[in-house]
């Protein structure tokens, strides 16, 4: 194999591909990035077995790609990135010298690097699943931003580490929960199909950082019961799905409420953020006391002390005294976008929901915590 290419083009592709690489993968081949040259097309692949990315670069004047000889190499990702990043030349030359030894050169510098055998790279199936639809990249990015934070970080119930996407009757419901809080976004869809899949949050965050970033075009989404595949221009991103039924969450979201607080979203974000350093058992527990006269947010710890902040808002209903994880409510508030938010309560020890009147697509639910103040 031998080719030359614009250094910046190769570097930006390697940077993206490297997002899928696990540097200490127990499977040595997966620590590498595979580069294949064939028929005037360069194909660059990376994978951590869960997430795989493949990008093709076709010879054109802009990218200076010039393939002199077909072939393939497999080189450890961390070395490849360092070399290409620091080579001080417009174009970079890559050439197989002997077996798995390849040479990278540009300017005065050259690197002879011991790679791995590309035949040892796992055979990744990038074929297209049959269920297919398209969505704007930025719209899908917003779904990730508004849900993925609420997934569980614990592996005790693996299915909760992902975001569930359920399409039914022209409605796409995107749900994430760690069983203490829940974030659900429902958008209307003209896709004539049905599916119910759970995509790992890790895969979604990598998708966001690679294919979706600075992208306002349509992406093609193809799904089977094993994988979700996202195609944007010359890039294929795919992630395995989580197995197991996703819990039924519709019934968890209360429809009737005993009281309502309407207030400025940023005021509440800042008030919680100011008190967040007061931690009890490594958690920030905020107490909210509401009546028609007064709304007060406090956070108390025997050793450290306490914060007290009256809030400006409109409260309707019986007086309420409720405690919750400040971080969970902060996450929920940051996922919303409007200025004014509505918090609807169903009682002191029952879940409450946070919504934004300007964006009916999203609902945030948080469970209170019991305290002994």
**Chain residues that interact with a second copy, rule: CB under 8 A:** 78-79, 82-83, 86-88, 101, 108-114, 270-271, 273-274, 277, 303-311
With tokens 């390697």, the residue in question is 14
C-alpha 42/C-alpha 31 separation (Å) is: 20
Least distance (Å) between residue 113 CB and a second copy: 4
Q: Which is nearer to a second copy, 78 or 157 (CB)?
A: 78
Residue 169: is it exposed, middle or buried by C-beta count within 10 angstroms (0-12/13-18/19+)? exposed
Q: Which is nearer to a second copy, 24 or 108 (CB)?
A: 108
Least distance (Å) between residue 308 CB and a second copy: 5
Q: Is 248 helix (H, G, I), strand (E, B) or coil?
A: coil
Phi and psi of 190, rounded to 5°? -100, 15
C-alpha 66/C-alpha 10 separation (Å) is: 12
With tokens 């969505």, the residue in question is 135
- The CA radius of gyration of the chain, in Å to the nearest whole number, is 25
Least distance (Å) between residue 22 CB and a second copy: 18
Q: Which is nearer to a second copy, 88 or 188 (CB)?
A: 88
Least distance (Å) between residue 298 CB and a second copy: 10
Exposure string over 149-168, b if 16+ CB within 10 A, otherwise e: bbbbeeeeeebbbbbbbbbe
Residue 157: which residues within 8 A CB-CB, separation 6 or more? Answer: 179
Chain-centre distance for alpha carbon 251: 26
Least distance (Å) between residue 299 CB and a second copy: 9
Least distance (Å) between residue 112 CB and a second copy: 5
With tokens 């992208």, the residue in question is 215
Least distance (Å) between residue 3 CB and a second copy: 19
The 10 Å Cβ neighbour count of residue 55 is 22
Chain-centre distance for alpha carbon 6: 30
| Of 84, 71, 185, residue with least CA distance to 135 | 185
Least distance (Å) between residue 312 CB and a second copy: 8
């Amino acid at each position: 194999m031998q080719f030359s290419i614009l250094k910046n083009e190769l570097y930006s592709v390697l940077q993206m591909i490297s997002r899928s690489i696990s540097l200490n993968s127990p499977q040595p081949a997966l620590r590498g990035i595979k580069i294949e040259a064939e028929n005037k097309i360069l194909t660059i692949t990376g994978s951590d077995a869960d997430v795989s990315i493949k990008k093709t670069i076709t010879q054109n004047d802009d990218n200076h790609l010039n393939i002199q000889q077909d072939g393939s190499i497999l080189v450890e990702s961390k070395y490849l990135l360092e070399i290409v990043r620091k080579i001080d030349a417009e174009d970079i030359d890559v050439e197989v010298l002997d077996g798995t030894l390849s040479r990278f050169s540009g300017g005065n510098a050259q690197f002879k690097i011991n790679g791995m055998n590309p035949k040892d790279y796992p055979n990744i199936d990038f074929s297209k699943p049959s269920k297919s639809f398209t969505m704007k990249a930025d719209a899908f990015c917003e779904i990730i931003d508004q849900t993925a934070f609420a997934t569980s970080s614990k592996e005790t119930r693996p299915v909760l580490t992902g975001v569930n996407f359920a399409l039914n009757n022209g409605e796409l419901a995107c749900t994430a929960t760690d069983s203490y809080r829940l974030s659900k976004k429902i958008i209307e869809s003209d896709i004539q199909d049905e599916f119910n899949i759970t995509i790992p949050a890790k895969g979604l965050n990598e998708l966001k950082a690679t294919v979706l970033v600075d992208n306002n075009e349509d992406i093609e989404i193809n799904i089977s019961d094993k994988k979700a595949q996202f195609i944007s221009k010359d890039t294929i991103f795919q992630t395995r799905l989580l197995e197991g039924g996703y819990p039924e969450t519709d019934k968890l979201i209360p429809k009737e409420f005993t009281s309502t607080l309407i207030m400025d979203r940023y005021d509440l974000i800042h008030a919680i953020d100011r008190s967040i350093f007061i931690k009890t058992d490594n958690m920030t527990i905020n107490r909210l006391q509401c009546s028609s006269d007064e709304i007060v947010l406090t956070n108390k710890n025997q050793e450290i002390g306490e914060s007290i902040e009256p809030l400006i808002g409109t409260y309707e209903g019986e007086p309420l005294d409720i405690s919750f994880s400040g971080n969970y409510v902060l996450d929920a508030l940051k996922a919303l976008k409007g200025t004014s938010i509505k918090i609807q309560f169903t009682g002191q020890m029952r879940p409450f929901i946070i919504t934004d009147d300007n964006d009916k697509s999203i609902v945030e639910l948080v469970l209170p915590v019991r305290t002994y103040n």
